[in-house]
Amino acid sequence: MIRTLAIALALSVSITAASAHAAPGDAAEARTLLMESVGIASVKGRGQTPALARFYRDWLVKAGFNAADIQIDELAGTANFHMAWRAAVTAKAKPIALTGHLDVVEANPADWERPPFTAVAENGYIFGRGVQDNKFDVAMMIATLAKLKASGWTPKRDIHLFLSGDEETEGTASAVQAKQAAAIGFEYMLNSDGGGGGLDAQSKPFFYKLQAAEKSYADFQMTITDPGGHSSTPTASNAIARIGLVSARIAGHRWPAQFNEITRASLAQAARQRSDILGQAMARFAANPADAEAIAVLRANPGTIGQIATTCVPTMISGGHAPNALPQRVTLTVNCRIFPGTSIAAVQSELARIAEDPGVRFAAGIDWPVTPASPLRPDVTAAVQAAVAARAAGLPGLLDLKATPGMDAGATDSVFWRAQGIPSYGVSSLFMRQEDSFAHGLNERVPEAAIAPALRHWDSILRRLAG
C-alpha cells in the first residue's frame, strides 16, 4: 500500500516537474550526500562539526561553486558555515537566506539497534542520528543548489546558505551567525529546520506547516529560604509547605488568551479538518479571539492551550536536608513557553504576583530571545504553497493540500534571526508519518521516498523566489 502510493506520488510529480522546468536535483546523488553526512558525528564535544562543514564545502565546490564564496568559522568549540551565491547581474531585490544546522544530538550506540553514526538503509528508510534533524533538509538544499548551479541557472537575487554549529545546545554560534546575517541585510530567511509536512497512515500527504512564529522559552528558579529548626518544634513558615502552595497556584493559573495572525490562520485551518467540539472552538476563536467559551475549550486541551497563551508549569522541585529538620531551602523550577511579543520580565512579575508569597526569590534560568511573529508574506506563502500543492498533484482528493501558517513552542535558530529583525519561515521539505518521527530519539529515520519530492520542493521554491 505504502509502496504503491509512493510510486503514484513520484510519477505524478515527475510529470509536473518535467513540464514546468528542467529536472530538479538527482535523488541518487542527494541520497549519497545525506548518507555520508550522517557518518560525520557532528555532536557537541566530539570536534567533528568543522569536518562536516568542510565536507559540505567540498561537495559544493565540486558542483561548481567558488571556494572563496564559502566561509567556515570555527568558534565556541564548533563551526558555522556560510556560502554566498551572487546574482548574475546587480540584483534589485535584497538577498535571501537559507538556513539549517550542522550539529546533531548525542546518541549512545549501546541504546541503538543500528550504529547511530553510520547511515543504514533498511526497509525503505535511512537510519542514523541527525538523518531527520537536520541533515535531511541540509543535504536536500545543498543537492538542489548544486544541481541548479550545474544546470547553468543563476539566481536573480543573492542566495546565502547558513549552517549553524550549536543549534541543539547553547546556540552561541547560532546567535553569532544571526548577527552576521543582520549585518549583510536579508529580506527574509527560510529555515529548513522548521515547518514541514505530515503523511497519514497510508503515507499520503495531509498537512503542511509553514512555521512563522515561535514562543520563547524561559526557566525560572523560585526559592524559599527559612531559618529551619528541629522537626519536633514546627513553625508556620515551613518552606516545603509554602512552595507547595506556590506550585499549586502556578499550575492552576489561567494565563490570558493571546493571538496573532499566525495562530488565527492556523486554528482556522485546523478547524476545517474536524467537526467536534474542539474544531468548533478553534473556528470560533479564530473568528473572535475574545470568545470565552471557545477559550475555555482550547485551554482545557493540552494540544491547543499553548497556541492561545503563555504557559508556565512547575517541572522540578528540590529542598530539605534531613528527615528530622525543618527545611531551610526549597527551590521550584517553573518552565514557561512565552507567547510572541510578551517579555520575560513581564512573565516573572506575573509569577511573583501569582505566588502570593513575598519570600520567593527568583533566579534566572535558561532564556531565549523574545521574538515577534514573522508577518505572512504573500510571495513566500505562494512559493511554499506551490511546492506543497505539487506533492498532491495527481493524487485524488489531495488537491487542496494547504501550507498552513503555524507557531511552534520553540526553539530553532529562527528565534535568533527574528530577534535581529529578519522575518523567518520554517519551510522544511520533509513529509513524515507521525509514527516515523524519532528526532532526538532512538532509531532516528527518514523514508527514502522522501528524497525526490524534497528536491522538487527546494527547486520549486528557489526558482519562484530567486528566479
Residue closer to Zn ion (CB basis): 134 or 420: 134
Least distance to Zn ion, CB of residue 38, Å: 14
Least distance to Zn ion, CB of residue 383, Å: 22
C-alpha distances in Å from residue 134, one per residue of 76, 149, 315? 20, 23, 28
Least distance to Zn ion, CB of residue 262, Å: 20
Contact region for Zn ion (CB under 5 A) — 78-86, 133-141, 179-187, 385-393?
133-141
133, 350, 413, 459: residue in contact with Zn ion (rule CB under 5 A): 133
Question: Is-contact 159 95, C-beta < 8 A?
Answer: yes
Q: Does 103 bind Zn ion (CB under 5 A)?
A: no
Cell output for 85: 551565491
Binders of Zn ion: how many residues, by CB under 5 A?
Answer: 3
Least distance to Zn ion, CB of residue 382, Å: 26
Total Cβ atoms within 10 A of residue 298: 23
Least distance to Zn ion, CB of residue 171, Å: 11
C-alpha distances in Å from residue 209, one per residue of 37, 67, 265, 334, 384? 26, 35, 11, 29, 10
Residue closer to Zn ion (CB basis): 134 or 374: 134
Binding to Zn ion (CB under 5 A) within 141-180 occurs at: none
Residue with cell 515547518: 195
Residue closer to Zn ion (CB basis): 163 or 250: 163
Least distance to Zn ion, CB of residue 34, Å: 15
Residue closer to Zn ion (CB basis): 70 or 131: 131
Among 200, 155, 208, residue whose Cα is nearest residue 381: 208
Q: Does 134 bind Zn ion (CB under 5 A)?
A: yes
Residue closer to Zn ion (CB basis): 134 or 311: 134
Residue closer to Zn ion (CB basis): 133 or 226: 133
Q: Does 132 bind Zn ion (CB under 5 A)?
A: no
Binding to Zn ion (CB under 5 A) within 185-204 occurs at: 193
Interface positions with Zn ion (CB under 5 A) = 133-134, 193
